[in-house]
Amino acid sequence: MANALIKTDFNFKGQTNVYHGKVRDVYTINNDKLIMVATDRISAFDVILPKGIPYKGQILNQIAAKFLDATKDIVPNWKLATPDPMVTVGQKAEAFPVEMIIRGYLTGSSWRTYKSGAREICGVKIPEGMKEHQKFPKPIITPTTKAAEGHDEDISKEEILKRGLISPEDYAQIEEITYKLFERGTEIAAKRGLILVDTKYEFGKIDGKIVLIDEIHTPDSSRYFYSEGYEERFAKGEQQKQLSKEFVREWLMANGFQGKEGQKVPEMTDEIVAGISARYIELFENITGEKFQKADLSQDIAKRIETNINNYLA
């Protein structure tokens, strides 16, 4: 099996903090810069799976960097540089404690909520008589809180404002930016023969200005359908052909795992891992329209990253 980076333990000059997330390791330098390392860890149902997926970190990092560059006319973002295929360096922002999830279609968790009888999601009313994978009359925003640990919670705009999580002025601004980013993402996806179904954006402030932070339009933060055959499959009530991490969740569910207590992660054979890696490469090539250039995994990945970051910081 090819090499995969599942943990990092760097100590850079000026390092003031380190945070190990589910998938990314974030190093703070001099309290004003962030070094975000996209590892090859993979999570599903809020659980980190036992094996890393070769090239996954590189794929997520490079897609995010590409889309941050492609949307900076809409909103400035935190990114300064990508000194390594798996690393983005950016400015530290004061993050809003809310993720802006925007949905163009009734699918995934929104469909499960709807199917259970609910006709309102995060304070947004959903019309009667909708079917799975149906396009909404217009995209809807269904925010969640950002949990430091455990599950993010659905929350309405009204509740966000009532709890003072974000000021009304800032919320109005990030709401408008969210619609614009989704529109841009939808246009880019359409050129690739894809439908951007839903995604999430995170925002913060640098020097009092709102900026886009974290990743954008990656298969870990977004769901894509193939445009071709969408209408036929929808008309027949069939499942859509997806480009997202959903296939990993489906494999886990088929093997009796949904992250619930007492459940065990199924064995991740080399074949399963290689299959997931191949799917991520397919995702990259479809989403970007570019051939994926594999980084050399025969060398020590952590050493390469450390050298590239140190060179950048110097």
Asked whether 42 and 68 are in contact (CB, 8 A), the reply is no
Using the predicted structure, report yes or no on whether residue 291 has a pLDDT greater than 80.
yes
**Quick one: residue 262, left, alpha or beta (phi over 0 = left, psi -120 to 50 = alpha)?**
left
Contact 141, 93 (CB under 8 A): no
Q: What percent of the chain has pLDDT over 90?
A: 89
pTM: 0.91
Cβ contacts of residue 256 below 8 Å, gap of 6+?
A: 263, 266
| Domains annotated on the chain, with CATH | 94-243 (3.30.470.20)
Tens digit of pLDDT for each residue in 60-117?
999 999 999 999 999 999 999 999 999 999 999 999 999 999 999 999 889 999 999 9
Q: For residue 121, what pLDDT band results from cuts at 50, 70 and 90?
A: very high
What is the Cβ-side half-sphere exposure of residue 79, based on CA atoms within 13 angstroms? 25
pLDDT digits (tens, 9 = 90+) for 246-284: 789 889 999 999 999 999 999 999 999 999 999 899 989
